[in-house]
Amino acid sequence: AQSVSQHNHHVILSEAASLELGCNYSYGGTVNLFWYVQYPGQHLQLLLKYFSGDPLVKGIKGFEAEFIKSKFSFNLRKPSVQWSDTAEYFCAVILSGSARQLTFGSGTQLTVLP
């Protein structure tokens, strides 16, 4: 079955540190890729998405992600994190022909220490 893997369950960083969260998917066909974020006490919301074209996509709040097809990866990055980035981050995919259905990874809890 197709799946999405997020390597780190919990990441702890100090403010201004650089961030990279890993995401790999197992599907050989066309995929659309997403990162969602859930801030404490808030709804899941879209951070960024990749459909086609430039494999480096930029999202809100300074986040970016790079699609590397050969590695089946879509890692999330931010050069300098802030305390307000503390949240849970979910990678998700939509498989071609899947009626817009999201398949989520298990999530990574990011804690940024002030």
Partner 1 sequence: EAEVAQSPRYKITEKSQAVAFWCDPISGHATLYWYRQILGQGPELLVQFQDESVVDDSQLPKDRFSAERLKGVDSTLKIQPAELGDSAMYLCASSLGLDSSYEEQYFGPGTRLTVT
**Contacting residues toward partner 1, per CB under 8 A:** 4, 9, 32, 43-46, 49, 51, 90, 92, 94, 99-107
Asked if 57 and 109 touch (Cβ cutoff 8 Å), the reply is no
Which one, 96 or 114, has the nearer CB to partner 1? 96
Distance CA 92, CA 14 (A): 26
Q: Which residue has the tokens 């540190």?
A: 17
Closest distance between partner 1 and the C-beta of residue 68, in Å?
Answer: 20
Q: Among residues 78 and 107, whose Cβ is nearest to partner 1? A: 107
User: Cα(55)–Cα(20) distance, rounded to whole angstroms?
Assistant: 16
Tokens for 76, please give them.
């999330």
Q: How many helices (H) and strands (E) does the chain have?
A: 0, 12
CB of 11 to partner 1, least distance (A): 15
CB of 100 to partner 1, least distance (A): 6
Closest CB to partner 1 among residues 49, 77:
49
